[in-house]
Amino acid sequence: MLNTLGNLLSLTTFGESHGLAYGGIINNFPAGLAVDFEKVQYELDRRKPGQSAIVTQRKESDTVQFLSGIFEGKTTGTPIGFIIENENQKSKDYDHIAKSYRPSHADFTYDQKYGLRDYRGGGKSSARETMNWVVAGALAKQFLSDIEINAYVSSVGEIFCEKPYQALDFSKTESNEVRCPDAETAEKMIEKIKEIKKEGNTIGGTITCVIKNVPVGIGEPVFSKLQAELGKAMLNINAAKGFEYGSGFCGAKMTGKEHNDLFNEDFTTKSNLSGGIQGGISNGMDIYFRVAFKPIATILRPQESVDKDGNPVIVEGKGRHDPCVLPRAVPVVESLAAFVLADLFLINKTRNINNF
Amino acid sequence: MLNTLGNLLSLTTFGESHGLAYGGIINNFPAGLAVDFEKVQYELDRRKPGQSAIVTQRKESDTVQFLSGIFEGKTTGTPIGFIIENENQKSKDYDHIAKSYRPSHADFTYDQKYGLRDYRGGGKSSARETMNWVVAGALAKQFLSDIEINAYVSSVGEIFCEKPYQALDFSKTESNEVRCPDAETAEKMIEKIKEIKKEGNTIGGTITCVIKNVPVGIGEPVFSKLQAELGKAMLNINAAKGFEYGSGFCGAKMTGKEHNDLFNEDFTTKSNLSGGIQGGISNGMDIYFRVAFKPIATILRPQESVDKDGNPVIVEGKGRHDPCVLPRAVPVVESLAAFVLADLFLINKTRNINNF
Amino acid sequence: MLNTLGNLLSLTTFGESHGLAYGGIINNFPAGLAVDFEKVQYELDRRKPGQSAIVTQRKESDTVQFLSGIFEGKTTGTPIGFIIENENQKSKDYDHIAKSYRPSHADFTYDQKYGLRDYRGGGKSSARETMNWVVAGALAKQFLSDIEINAYVSSVGEIFCEKPYQALDFSKTESNEVRCPDAETAEKMIEKIKEIKKEGNTIGGTITCVIKNVPVGIGEPVFSKLQAELGKAMLNINAAKGFEYGSGFCGAKMTGKEHNDLFNEDFTTKSNLSGGIQGGISNGMDIYFRVAFKPIATILRPQESVDKDGNPVIVEGKGRHDPCVLPRAVPVVESLAAFVLADLFLINKTRNINNF
Amino acid sequence: MLNTLGNLLSLTTFGESHGLAYGGIINNFPAGLAVDFEKVQYELDRRKPGQSAIVTQRKESDTVQFLSGIFEGKTTGTPIGFIIENENQKSKDYDHIAKSYRPSHADFTYDQKYGLRDYRGGGKSSARETMNWVVAGALAKQFLSDIEINAYVSSVGEIFCEKPYQALDFSKTESNEVRCPDAETAEKMIEKIKEIKKEGNTIGGTITCVIKNVPVGIGEPVFSKLQAELGKAMLNINAAKGFEYGSGFCGAKMTGKEHNDLFNEDFTTKSNLSGGIQGGISNGMDIYFRVAFKPIATILRPQESVDKDGNPVIVEGKGRHDPCVLPRAVPVVESLAAFVLADLFLINKTRNINNF
């Protein structure tokens, strides 16, 4: 359904950057889950602004309030409504763009599509929307308690985490500001981001996500293959420019003989270039994928642009902005992955007559 | 909706490789289009086996028959049903895999998910399904007659078409067997595929797709952004491992200053690293994206594998298979792009009160 | 989804009265059901024309052919495609309405909505479409093998089956042409229909449907309550004018003291004015509902009407038509009920964390 | 989509009777509508408790707050989020039913389906949910400003408004507490309700809804016929037991010769037993339908019932309840009708190539 995430388990959301609140409705969440509210807020805190020196200094508490669907601490199977109030709105910071179009932002396309736009803070096109996704994903994670989902920053600009994910200790991801579990690489990334920030510039990068313990059978060919649903979710993240899973774009350079994953006698595979998915369905091996993020378009430097009438103007980012979206996007990637998996996990329960 | 392509304009399909027929239903296609049936069959012919020396020699006419929704040559607005009969089924070629699992195929995952599978020719997991998509896409192309959609093979293994798409003449794409509009590169690619074929091996590659003349405003944030819908469709193609649009994974290495697309006074942009999409909505510039394909898993050489009970077996591709999926995937990529665009194009018509 | 029946289990269909074929795709049907093909054809035969003296004498075999989704007699969990070819098309019978609008038919509305229409035999608006529904419902019935679904003709014109359903023996429904299990009433109904037929007239009536053994818990408030999904399905049947369940319109005359169903200690209820549904969810008691059908609009007598330009014309039903839709609609009502229940039954499996 | 109203224009909702708030998200509402907020609140006020002597005396302000999707008074085309806070919760009134099941309520079915329930005030099964629908419908009404939608109470118990709707002056509907535009009948109805209330009893009735000025072409056969979408929406209202349109159940007693609506030369029809819909599509004539409501199950008298373990208990309605749901259901019926029409109206815009 248009503007809804998920096929059975579903998330519908609302909110603009400088409106009164964000929020959403999670539908068809199974009844009976004892919700750990602190864990939900923990995920929001990982995403929120102002948490470290390398992210925007905007201050928001980003506190979620559940309004329905939970009774005496447990999900009731009815729609889970929630809101997150906006607090720290400096709408005046945006007066200068009411009639101007910032380069590589959605100002122009929103105006053209809808005929008007809430320009304050980017309005609907702001990445504050991803808060809603984190709330839904945090509940999905709790439902899928046996599945481990770990995302991390795998590159910032030209600095790559060269170690394969198998060599990383994900318990270290939260130990540094940039959320790269390899301490040495993390340090370089942080340094790079600080340098970029000083220039009033921004920088892109990639996030890798690894999912362990997914049971065999998750994914719905032909039009809701697991990789397609994961890819769609990730490509909806603001600033995402690409998605690859398993061998990805590297696999496109290989031959079949090199690329095929041979089976062991327990149906695990000797290699895993497939990335844990065969024919759109999980095969029990680790699922891993990578998302590319462009540098944030708002830079704190004057840029030539145009106004609504096509007249030349100079726009300059004001206010408090992220020099690099990556660290805060890590929980967003994990949340979307959790939600997509939970949706397909529920559906899979109905796919075989033996379950009835 | 699960197992449906599209949000308003929709395609539902059926068919297995060695079943009686493939087919589909296109719903909510606008009434009044005079269908050019030859153009539909032309697109199917671009996809069909046996068309050249570098694709599978399996012979199928792949003739589409429309059963409803078209009257006196025009679409009636009612569901368009169609079938494509299977003809050249050599099911015996597949007896050896009835109880064995081929490496990097979906045999194991289908068996686990559904408890049984039609193993003949890969059953539902066969890429013959993409015929259905080509039929739907061919109609979508005719509806979007002002929009130009051109896909081409941009790499085979390590051989890349180095020229930017702007330097290519798409009228040349069909002039060679591999569907790369650059003659020199095409020759190298064909040579490479022939060499790989001789070894009984297969090889991966990428397809680039360029879409011109898309009006501003197509795409539905927040969960049906144009790139997300395109990416989902492409990632559902058998063998697809990755999707990127605009600057893609390269953009992740850049800074905001380098990456931002500055406006001209007519609202075109000086550069187009955005790939024609801002905030999930088309901005009128060329849309371009790239899809990565792994090498086909069926190689004509013995491989170690396991049977249903986990016993070691040797499997060896028999029959007639593609050494490289790329040339035949070109019309599939174009078709999916056309269908996704047509769906979002219809929806966009309803997004502004001024249209009513 | 528009033009789709069902939320998870879904049916998409195509076909026009005088096109090449009808057909459909059943998606998300559970894998592993051993299909009884004769039972499917049996249901189609109950619906087909020419089966008795009181229905249309048009001859069609209405034979269904399954094209996919079933392997070695069992459903595979993949889309089930089927077609039913049209055979006995006398399109010339309809030349007279190519440019005229029959009273109380959909000729005018289709023309206005779509700008053109396949006028032969009513095109898409023909009740032959309900064949598709019977195929899907026949499979749903087999999936829900413990649930008994019995519809019957409960009134024809002013002739009512006065006995409550509890006093009827449903094994007698097929013992007469009109499908009313009460022999005495059936005789009167048949006589009435024959009389009406002789006049070239048609007559309306009602069908009652009783569903036993539905487990507690089926139905999805707030927007997919069981009665709402049943009602929607029934109101899509050609000629249906009303739907009521449980006490229905009679219940609207009662007081709460009279109407409330008191519980027994085993949670059955002493009365069942609720019709087996509380709050949109089945409560384990018999579900029963009634559907009103108007008299068929095609009468074999001259009627004043207008052509496309508003000029007066005389139209007169030619060919072979039903004097009363009721007997052939009985399997349609049962089929839709079965499909709706199967869909909600699948979904209910995912509503409680204890099922995982 | 499950738990969503509408196919393209969509409403998703949340809220329980004694939770913190109700609310919803309206998706795909066209951009550019100048919202009249007073009119929205006016519709809510027509539905709210405590407005007259014949409805519940519970006091709630039922004030809607819009949180997104509207900027400077106009819809922006982005999701419209809203909440209505619960104020006057006397949850203690419901302690007695925490473990008991009230007759003809959804206590038992919710417990069985979900394994737990928020019992306070009926939780999710409370008709307070319909507030959400009124908000959405009020916006839909403003979008469809040319269409007139008038519902009224057409019967209470055995007291019927005998005049045909054509003889009524809808501007009088709001002039009395029961919302019947015929003053004489209204008086009798009010008297009856007061009498019933005195007894601690409740009473059922019907609401008729008349829709004028619907353009030709609204409705989407075959599975989203206009009457089917209207019927589904109405049957989701708490206490609704039946739906009929046009001639309805009376039409089932008629012959074709009597029932057919003959055309005038301007394509209007001489009679309108069809109720403004042919083949599932509006034909430009008045649309009218009737909804049956059972008497409210909560009566202020002791009733025999059972607790969760099947032990006999006496339950007795406490607190403030409606003796008759009808007067407050009038705006709910209108709101759902408006929303369904607006959804199908948007979709119809995409059904013909000439609109592009």
DSSP C15-62: --TTSSEEEEEEESPPBT-B--HHHHHHHHHHHSTTSSTTS-------
Q: Which residues pair with A304 in a beta bridge?
A: A314
CB-nearest partner of D31 from A31, A65, A116: A116
CB contact under 8 A, B281 and A106: yes
pLDDT of residue A341: 98
Task: Classify residue A312 by its DSSP letter.
Answer: E
- pLDDT above 80 for B93: no
CB contact under 8 A, D12 and A28: no
- pLDDT above 70 for B59: yes
CB-nearest partner of C8 from A8, A345, A352: A8
CB contact under 8 A, D30 and B143: no
Task: Classify residue C215 by its DSSP letter.
Answer: P
Number of cross-chain residue pairs from A and C with Cβ atoms under 8 Å apart: 64
Average pLDDT of every residue of chain B: 96
What string of H, E and C letters represents the secondary structure of B54-121? Answer: CCCCCCCCCCEEECCCEECCEECCCCEEEEEECCCCCHHHHHHHCCEECCCCCHHHHHHHHCCCCCHH
Q: For residue B122, give the chain A residue with the closest CA.
A: A279
Q: For residue D157, give the chain C residue with the closest CA.
A: C253
Mean pLDDT (whole number) for B296-316: 94
Residue B300 contacts by C-beta under 8 Å, 6 or more apart in sequence? B200, B316, B317, B318, B321
Task: List Cα–Cα distances, D118 to A26, D97, D115, in angstroms.
Answer: 17, 11, 11
The per-residue pLDDT for range C87-135, each reduced to its tens digit, is 876 666 677 788 999 999 999 999 999 999 999 989 999 999 999 999 9
pLDDT of residue D80: 98
Q: Which residues pair with D269 in a beta bridge?
A: D263
Distance to chain B for D147, nearest Cα, Å: 14
Contacts of D8 in chain B (CB under 8 A): 8, 347, 350
Of residues B287 and A55, more confidently modeled = B287
The tokens for A284 are 């029990």
Contacts of B76 in chain C (CB under 8 A): 16, 114, 116-118, 123-124
pLDDT of residue B90: 66
Which pLDDT band, with edges at 50, 70 and 90, does B199 fall under? very high
pLDDT of residue A159: 98
Q: Please, what is the end-to-end C-alpha distance for chain D in angstroms?
A: 27
Contacts of C310 in chain D (CB under 8 A): 265-267
CB contact under 8 A, D231 and C233: no
CB-nearest partner of B350 from D33, D346, D353: D346
* Amino acid at position C205, single letter: G
Residue C166 contacts by C-beta under 8 Å, 6 or more apart in sequence? none
Mean pLDDT (whole number) for A108-127: 95
pLDDT of residue D189: 98
Phi, psi (5° rounding) for residue D249? -65, -25
* Gap between the Cα atoms of D43 and A50, Å rounded: 43
- Chains with 3 or more CB pairs under 8 A to chain C: A, B, D
* Gap between the Cα atoms of B43 and B37, Å rounded: 10
pLDDT of residue C170: 98
Which pLDDT band, with edges at 50, 70 and 90, does A1 fall under? confident
Per domain, the residue ranges of chain D are 10-349
Contacts of D73 in chain B (CB under 8 A): none
Phi, psi (5° rounding) for residue C242? -165, 160
CB contact under 8 A, A32 and C353: yes
CB atoms within 10 A of CB D313: 18
pLDDT of residue C243: 98
- Chains with 3 or more CB pairs under 8 A to chain A: B, C, D
CB contact under 8 A, A8 and C347: yes
Average pLDDT of every residue of chain D: 96
Mean pLDDT (whole number) for A72-89: 94
Q: Which residues of A touch D (CB under 8 A)?
A: 1-4, 8, 10, 12-16, 19-25, 27-28, 31-32, 65, 67-69, 71-72, 74, 76-81, 83, 113-118, 123-124
Average pLDDT of every residue of chain A: 96
Which pLDDT band, with edges at 50, 70 and 90, does A91 fall under? low
CB-nearest partner of A256 from B219, B233, B296: B296
Residue D179 marked as a ligand binder: no
CB-nearest partner of D350 from B33, B222, B349: B349
- pLDDT above 90 for D97: no
Task: Classify residue B326 by its DSSP letter.
Answer: H
Exposure b/e, A6-32, CB count within 10 A at least 16 = b: bbbbbbbbbbbbbbbbbbbbbbbbbbb
Residue D297 marked as a ligand binder: yes
Mean pLDDT (whole number) for C139-166: 98
Q: For residue B29, give the chain D residue with the closest CA.
A: D351
The tokens for C124 are 């898409």
- pLDDT above 70 for B91: no
The tokens for D233 are 């929406």
Which pLDDT band, with edges at 50, 70 and 90, does B240 fall under? very high
CB-nearest partner of B350 from D1, D30, D221: D30
Residue C41 contacts by C-beta under 8 Å, 6 or more apart in sequence? C63, C64
The per-residue pLDDT for range B20-58, each reduced to its tens digit, is 999 999 999 999 999 999 999 999 999 999 899 888 888
* Gap between the Cα atoms of C67 and C64, Å rounded: 10
Q: E strands within A162-239?
A: 205-212
Mean pLDDT (whole number) for D196-200: 96
- pLDDT above 70 for B334: yes
Task: List Cα–Cα distances, D208 to C35, C227, C241, D138, D240, in angstroms.
Answer: 45, 20, 15, 18, 13
- pLDDT above 80 for D89: no
Contact status, residue C290 vs residue C236, Cβ threshold 8 Å: no
Q: For residue C144, give the chain A residue with the closest CA.
A: A356
Number of cross-chain residue pairs from B and D with Cβ atoms under 8 Å apart: 64
Is the backbone peptide bond immediately before A222 cis, with ω within 30 degrees of 0?
yes
Distance to chain C for D169, nearest Cα, Å: 24
Contacts of B8 in chain A (CB under 8 A): 2
Which pLDDT band, with edges at 50, 70 and 90, does A228 fall under? very high
Distance to chain A for B304, nearest Cα, Å: 7
pLDDT of residue A325: 94
Contacts of D23 in chain A (CB under 8 A): 23, 25, 67, 81
Mean pLDDT (whole number) for A60-88: 96
Topology, domain D10-349: Chorismate synthase, AroC fold (3.60.150)
CATH code of domain B10-355? 3.60.150.10
Range with the poorest average pLDDT among A89-98, A259-268, A323-332: A89-98
Test the C interface: residue of B4, B14, B83, B86 with most C CBs within 10 Å: B14
The tokens for A237 are 């993240």
Distance to chain D for C321, nearest Cα, Å: 12
Mean pLDDT (whole number) for C151-175: 98
Contacts of D258 in chain C (CB under 8 A): 295
Residue D301 marked as a ligand binder: no
Q: For residue B355, give the chain D residue with the closest CA.
A: D349
Q: For residue D29, give the chain B residue with the closest CA.
A: B351
CB-nearest partner of A3 from D2, D22, D28: D28
CB contact under 8 A, A353 and C28: no
